[in-house]
Structure 1
Amino acid sequence: MSTLYRLLTAEDSSAFCHKITDALAKGWVLHGSPCYAFDPATNVMRCAQAVTKNIDAEYTPDMKLGAQ
């Protein structure tokens, strides 16, 4: 059994919320609080949310985490 970790990021928009909701629907679990930061290069707020998921397989670096 392995615990997988992903850090999902995007601009602060409904698309980011949909990205997180999709991960939750696929069995990922929120890990910690979301983070927000201003990106001066694009003049937008950016969001980040860590998620984890336990799987019944051994982790390998070539795994496509989003497909798990």
Structure 2
Amino acid sequence: MSNTYIVDGMTCSHCAQAVTNALKSVKEDAEINVDLAAKKVTVSGLDDEAKIKDAIEEAGFDFMGAA
């Protein structure tokens, strides 16, 4: 199952990698897909929204909730 979230503040590939790394630090085998243009992150294999939110915010981005 996958969930998609809106993440504000991502502007480049480095931002996308930072978000990916932050989420993989929570669960290494999670599948992360970042769409910079749409400001969306799709996460598969990690269903704990609170942990996802915390990881994204600790990486310096704004977690806006489910898309």
Q: Between Structure 1 and Structure 2, whose CA radius of gyration is higher?
A: 1
Greater fraction of residues in helix: 2
TM-score using structure 1 length: 0.41
Greater fraction of residues in strand: 1
